[in-house]
Amino acid sequence: MTDNLLTVRNLRAGIEGKEILRGIDLTIRPGEVHAIMGPNGSGKSTLSGVLAGDPRFTVTGGEAIFHGVDLLALSPADRSHEGLFLSFQYPVEIPGVTMVNFMRAAVNAKRKYLGEAPMSAADFLKLMRQKRAIVELDNKLASRSVNEGFSGGEKKRNEIFQMAVLEPCLSILDETDSGLDIDALRIVAGGVNKLRTDKNATIVITHYQRLLDYIKPDFVHILYKGRIVYSGGPELALELEEKGYDWIKEEVDKQ
Amino acid sequence: MKAAQSFGQYLALWVDNEALRQGVPEPLATLNSAGAEALPALIEAYRAPKDVPRACAADELFAPDYGVNLAHHDMHASVAEAFHCGVPNLNSHLVVVANDVVHVSAPLRDEAPAGLKVYSLRSLPSEYVGRAGELLALHSADNVAVAMNSLLLGDGIYIRVEPGVTVERPVQIVNIFHSDMPMLSSRRVVVDAGEGASLRVLLCDHSQGAGVQHLNNQVVQVHAAPHASVDLYDIEESSADTHRLNQLFTHQEHDSRVVVSPTFLHGGVTANHYGLNLTGDHAEAEVTGLAICADKQQVANNVVLRHDCEHSTSRQLFKYALYDEARGSFGGKVVVEHGARFTDASQTNRNILVSEKARMDASPQLEIYCDEVKASHGATTGQLDERALFYMQARGIPADEAERMLTQAFMADVVDNIGYEVLRQRMHVLVEKRLAGASASCETCASADCSKYTRQ
């Protein structure tokens, strides 16, 4: 059990008094890719937000242990420093803060947390150059404000670029495929695959099987009405693609 | 009642101490008398403005019993002589005003570039007395605070740029308050830019030593002849015991351009009034200011921008970040007179309240008496973008640093508007340091590393 990367037990959370997650259990080990699928409103984005520390959500019960650390007790920044990464469904535009200043602040904040000295300017630029290549991100975007004026594809590539720089041990990709054309999808998924090792793990949150053609999951979970109602192997995603969510809904609602 | 006491005490002091005021040269003597003549009626008519914080009203500012340097002793000449602005590459033409005594630096006095004249009003060459007097007379008694300035002015600065001359390096005026006892300083700057002349003026307000109350009652006049260009940057970084009442008046002839850029980084109570007059066709005016207010600081900026010609353009942009129990106010009035066709005026005021106890009052106003104009105004007051804050934190940037970065980003366009590059870079750093909690002192300014703000 101790080598679990993330153990979520009976996690409950809501927004403005409305309960959305109604007891989530999930165990993730290093090297694994988990897909979380489910119909609209099932709580997929709430789960990713709660794990990352989004202040909009209130945790009402349960726990999340992240390589031995009580994740829910940490600030969002410290969760990041501990190795959690959330790729946003809707990356936020930050006018006036350049990508390069944003990334420098992020990198050096983590180094400070780990007791390391700030990175030298030369090393930092080299790191940026290396990581940009992973998702073929244009150098020009570095001097622009964070996500401002980026196309949908650029925003998602930018997320994976940040993931590459921060080298998390657990990445949550929240609807990373939404708003992507097939070429951008291939680049983004390719980036994720390049970053996979047997030490880190990925949670892929998605509506559709499509992304899973590129990022192969080891486990597929179906979230419905705030609970994981079904777990299986990769074949479950194919079954969903074929039959839709209705059969799951019927089965669960019957109970 | 309050006004009679506040202002009256200084008028009485002036009247009662005639002996101290012997030998005041022209044009100051005439200006002093004009102030004295106008004051009784102005005091009588004074009503505290309702749209600025009470502390920023003139009668409140003048209420304390400040000392006044009526005999015009140069008590702190050493302060002026010792002053050195350490900002690298600024290469300014330096004038230091120690309390209310003007010290034109020796290089500027002896080796000013051709076409630039900078004089103390007390030692004006005779050929400029008439001209300076005419300009001063235009603003001898606009309101009670201007009349107080006229009454008590013991010295001032007259800057003349001859027609067609472009002065490359900025004229830097450093106002320093240094005193063991509470003092009222009256300061005045007259900028007289000839036809096609071009000049940058940098005003820095500082106070040395904390705990001594000071009121700076300043009047700045900018006269831009046709095709003249004047940039005026005003940086206030003084102690919490320093109060300032600063009034700036501009007169723009045709095709002239004036940029006014006030920055409040630290101080106690500040009331700025900007009266800008576009009287010549195709004149352009820009007023872009920022204020970072913390503790119990109070800052009021009040702009009255009058278009009285054709094809003139004005742009106002003021941004405030308010912390703790700070109070800010912005009043912006654009007046488009009859016949001021093709006026293009815009006014924007945006504010961030970082703390729940901070307060901001904004009153944008348009008064338009002409049909063929383009005018816009907008004011917003809110908090930092919570989604952006969370996004930054999710990338590991701690909440306080994320707040600072967002506030700095919010201010960036105002700073970017500063046309003088050395100063623009410096200002980015000063804003960053101020937001990080450092006092933006003279020393901080000089030693700041600006490399990251250098434009590639």
Give the model confidence (pLDDT) of A5-16 as tens digits. Answer: 999 999 999 999
Indicate which of B317, B319, B392 best probes the interface with A, i.e. most A CBs within 10 Å of its own CB.
B392
CB B214 within 8 A of CB B181: no
Taking only residues 118 to 147 of chain A, the set having a beta carbon closer than 8 angstroms to any beta carbon of chain B reads: 143, 145-146
Kindly state whether B397 is in contact with chain A, defined as any CB-CB distance less than 8 angstroms.
Answer: yes
Instruction: Count how many residues are written for chain A.
Output: 255
Q: Phi, psi at residue B228, to the nearest 5°?
A: -80, 155
Query: Radius of gyration over alpha carbons of chain B, in Å?
Result: 21
CB contact under 8 A, B398 and A143: no
CB contact under 8 A, B408 and A75: no
Write out pLDDT tens, residues B275-298. Answer: 999 999 999 999 999 999 999 999
Structure tokens at B8: 């009256």
Q: How many CA atoms, within 13 angstroms, populate the side-chain half-sphere of residue A132?
A: 16
Kindly state whether B429 is in contact with chain A, defined as any CB-CB distance less than 8 angstroms.
Answer: no
Residues 6 or more apart whose CB falls under 8 angstroms from that of A90 comprise none
Average pLDDT on A102-112 reads 96
Indicate which of B391, B403, B454 best probes the interface with A, i.e. most A CBs within 10 Å of its own CB.
B391
Indicate which of A57, A146, A148 best probes the interface with B, i.e. most B CBs within 10 Å of its own CB.
A146
Average pLDDT on B391-412 reads 95
* The predicted structure's pLDDT at residue B76: 78
Percent of chain B with pLDDT over 70: 96
Sign of the dihedral defined by the CA atoms of residues B67, B72, B77, B81, in that order: positive
* The predicted structure's pLDDT at residue B207: 86
Minimal C-alpha gap between A82 and chain B (Å): 9
Interface size A-B, in CB pairs within 8 Å, comes to 80
* The predicted structure's pLDDT at residue B215: 96
CB contact under 8 A, A105 and B405: yes
Average pLDDT on B39-51 reads 93
CB A196 within 8 A of CB A33: yes
The answer to whether residue B445 scores a pLDDT higher than 80 is: no
Write out pLDDT tens, residues B136-182. Answer: 999 999 999 999 999 999 999 999 999 999 999 999 999 999 888 99
> In a 3-state reduction of DSSP, which class is residue B444?
helix
User: Which of B15-24, B83-92, B111-120, B342-351 has the lowest average pLDDT?
Assistant: B83-92
* The predicted structure's pLDDT at residue B456: 43
d(CA B139, CA B192): 14
Nearest residue to B10 via CA among B74, B61, B66: B66
The answer to whether residue A2 scores a pLDDT higher than 60 is: no
The answer to whether residue A39 scores a pLDDT higher than 60 is: yes
Q: How many CA atoms, within 13 angstroms, populate the side-chain half-sphere of residue A83?
A: 16
Q: Give the pairing of strands B67-68 and B93-98.
A: unpaired
CB contact under 8 A, B412 and A110: no
Q: Domain residue spans in chain A?
A: 6-92+169-254
Query: Given B388, B399, B452, which is nearest A92 (Cβ)?
Result: B388
Write out pLDDT tens, residues A161-207. Answer: 999 999 999 999 998 888 788 888 888 888 889 899 999 999 999 98
Query: Given A75, A85, A113, which is nearest B393 (Cβ)?
Result: A75
d(CA B403, CA A54): 16
CB contact under 8 A, B388 and A77: no
Nearest residue to A26 via CA among A41, A48, A42: A48
Kindly state whether A116 is in contact with chain B, defined as any CB-CB distance less than 8 angstroms.
Answer: no
Write out pLDDT tens, residues B12-36. Answer: 999 998 888 888 999 999 999 999 9
Write out pLDDT tens, residues A128-154. Answer: 999 998 888 888 888 889 999 998 889
Average pLDDT on A97-112 reads 95
- In B19-142 the beta strands, taken as DSSP E runs, fall at 67-68, 93-98, 101-104, 116-120
ipTM for the predicted complex comes to 0.96
CB B200 within 8 A of CB B233: yes
CB B371 within 8 A of CB B334: no
CB contact under 8 A, A55 and B390: yes
The answer to whether residue B440 scores a pLDDT higher than 60 is: no
Average pLDDT on A208-215 reads 86
Quote the DSSP letter at residue B355: S
Kindly state whether B398 is in contact with chain A, defined as any CB-CB distance less than 8 angstroms.
Answer: yes
* The predicted structure's pLDDT at residue A1: 46
Rounded to two decimals, what is the model's pTM?
0.88
Write the CA distances from B191 to A168, A201, B52, B418, integer angstroms: 59, 67, 28, 19
Average pLDDT on B394-410 reads 95
Nearest residue to A112 via CA among B400, B198, B233: B400
Around Cβ B446, how many Cβ atoms within 10 Å? Answer: 14
Q: Where are the alpha helices (DSSP H) in A44-98?
A: 44-52, 76-81
CB contact under 8 A, B394 and A88: yes
Report the mean per-residue pLDDT for chain A: 92
The answer to whether residue B455 scores a pLDDT higher than 60 is: no
Q: Residue B262: which H helix or E strand, with range?
A: strand B257-266
Q: What is the DSSP string of B162-191?
A: -TT-B--SPEEEEEEE--SS-EEEEEEEEE
Kindly state whether B416 is in contact with chain A, defined as any CB-CB distance less than 8 angstroms.
Answer: no
CATH classification of A6-92+169-254 is 3.40.50.150, yes or no? no
Around Cβ B452, how many Cβ atoms within 10 Å? Answer: 14
Instruction: Please tell me which residue of chain A has the smallest CA distance to B399.
Output: A77
d(CA B394, CA B389): 9
The answer to whether residue B238 scores a pLDDT higher than 50 is: yes
Quote the DSSP letter at residue B211: S
Nearest residue to B327 via CA among B396, B269, B383, B393: B269
Confidence at B448, pLDDT banded by 50, 70, 90: low
Query: Radius of gyration over alpha carbons of chain A, in Å?
Result: 18
* The predicted structure's pLDDT at residue A246: 86
Residues 6 or more apart whose CB falls under 8 angstroms from that of B217 comprise B61, B62, B145, B148, B149, B152, B184, B185, B186, B187, B245
CB contact under 8 A, B388 and A54: no
Report the mean per-residue pLDDT for chain B: 92
Instruction: Count how many residues are written for chain B.
Output: 456
Minimal C-alpha gap between B392 and chain A (Å): 8
Say if residue B27 is preceded by a cis peptide, omega within 30 of 0: yes
Identity (one letter) of the amino acid at B404? R
* The predicted structure's pLDDT at residue A187: 86
Percent of chain B with pLDDT over 90: 76
Minimal C-alpha gap between B291 and chain A (Å): 18
Contacts of A146 in chain B (CB under 8 A): 391
Indicate which of B352, B393, B413 best probes the interface with A, i.e. most A CBs within 10 Å of its own CB.
B393
CB A84 within 8 A of CB A172: yes
> In a 3-state reduction of DSSP, which class is residue B428?
helix
Look at the block and give the residue holding tokens 């503790």.
Answer: B295
